[in-house]
């Protein structure tokens, strides 16, 4: 991971977070569960691998699972807005699957870019207030 890449990804991360509609407009806050989802993404990549983690976060299903999918959407937007590399895929899962068939160096480079996007997202999400969910 490259500190300079992470720093350049922070403004795109803030933009992606705002576009994702997880920010409550009345108080400029984000529900605490999203902090947990993004905080858990990086360690999950390290322990389970990128493809397994993205697959888990991208599953359609219960409300909680659909909420996790928003993290993948945010990360995809960060990668797209930061323009570190070009891609056509419209989901992080499709992009990860495409990169998974690449040469080892390209796979490792892609994994590092995703982890940099995760780090930038963690830093960017910290600029918003953490609020409790309606049911908490």
Confidence of residue 65 (pLDDT cuts 50, 70, 90): low
Percent of the chain residues past pLDDT 90, beyond the cut: 52
- pLDDT cut 70: percent of the chain above it: 94
Model confidence over 30-57: pLDDT tens digits?
988 999 999 999 999 999 999 999 999 9
Within the chain, strands assigned E span: 23-24, 29-31, 129-131
Q: Residue 104: pLDDT above 90? A: no
**CA–CA gap between residue 56 and residue 121 (Å, rounded):** 19
Which pLDDT does position 105 carry in this prediction? Answer: 85
Average pLDDT over residues 91-97: 90
In order of their start, the domains of the chain are: 3-21+30-128 (1.10.520.30)
> In Å, how far are 3, 52, 63, 102, 134 from 69, measured between CA atoms?
26, 14, 10, 24, 20
Both tokens assigned to 135: 């049911």
Average of pLDDT values for 104-129?
92
Degrees, nearest 5: CA angle 49-122-112: 40
User: Is the per-residue pLDDT at 108 higher than 70?
Assistant: yes
Neighbours of 31 (CB within 10 A): 18
Higher pLDDT, 118 or 105: 118
Instruction: Quickly count: other Cβ atoms within 10 Å of residue 13's Cβ.
Output: 27
pTM for this entry: 0.89
- pLDDT(28) > 90: no
**Mean pLDDT, the chain, as a whole number?**
88
Record the tokens describing residue 23, joined without a space: 């920010």
3-state SS, residue 129: strand
């Amino acid at each position: 991971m490259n500190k300079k890449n992470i720093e350049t990804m922070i403004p795109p991360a803030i933009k992606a977070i705002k576009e994702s509609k997880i920010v409550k407009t009345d108080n400029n806050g984000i529900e605490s569960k999203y902090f947990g989802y993004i905080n858990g993404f990086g360690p999950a990549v390290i322990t389970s691998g990128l493809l397994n983690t993205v697959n888990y976060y991208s599953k359609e299903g219960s409300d909680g699972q659909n909420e996790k999918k928003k993290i993948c959407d945010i990360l995809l937007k960060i990668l797209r807005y930061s323009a570190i590399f070009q891609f056509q895929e419209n989901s992080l899962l499709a992009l990860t699957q495409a990169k998974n068939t690449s040469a080892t160096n390209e796979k490792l480079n892609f994994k590092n870019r995703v982890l940099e996007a995760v780090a930038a997202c963690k830093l960017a999400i910290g600029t918003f207030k953490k609020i409790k969910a309606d049911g908490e």
